[in-house]
Amino acid sequence: VIRKISNNPCTGTVLPKNSKPKVEIYDLEEIQKMLDAAKGTDMYFPLLLEISVGFRRGELLALTWDDIDLENGIIHIRRNYVRTTQGMITKQPKSAAGIRDVHIGENLIDACKLAYARYQDDKEDTTQKFYDTRLVVRQKNGKPYRPDSWTQKWERFVKYHNLKHIKFHALRHSYTSVMLQAGISPKVMQER
């Protein structure tokens, strides 16, 4: 039996506004605490890169040593490592604006040089098979981290060091917030 109603019961319904949840970020003190906790671990350099450049997770995981110009202090962001229905692939960043060059200072250049030396040491270590992917953020054997594995590694790091829980992507927002507090113009931040 089909029954028809004379009016639409949804007429006049006002939908609630879709409000975005506030993103938790680290302030300068929390960033320093995070970096102090990471010193001497394989998390230090990736976290230093992240908080200094503001990568998307896939951009950080796709970064190779060929993308870092140590002589001129420039990081070329050209790729994004993502999961698709076909598996893990490297593709262009999320948007055309995601393809960018970021100038870095002497401290980060020095940290890059140390990390590159560790990369070379791992590559020459004959006690294990090394996959020469030239990835900057990689497993000790050179293989890439899957994005979800990297997130899990971040979650374990935060929990182990009793840091304020934020998502890994929130480090990108933390970077932006700190740069704006330092007086960097919003236009420069947008380009970076």
Q: Using one digit for the tens of pLDDT, what is the confidence trace for 25-36?
A: 999 999 999 999
- Taking Cα atoms as reference points, which of 85, 98, 18 lies closest to residue 58? 98
For residues 138 and 145, is the Cβ–Cβ distance under 8 A?
yes
* 2-16, 46-60, 65-79, 106-120: the lowest-pLDDT one: 2-16
* 82-86, 136-140, 174-178, 187-191: the lowest-pLDDT one: 187-191
Spatial neighbors of 14 by CB under 8 A, at least 6 apart, are: none
Residue 192, pLDDT > 70, answer: no
Residue 81, pLDDT > 70, answer: yes
DSSP 3-state assignment of 184? coil
pLDDT value at residue 153? 98
pTM (predicted TM-score): 0.83
Amino acid occupying residue 30: E
pLDDT value at residue 189? 65
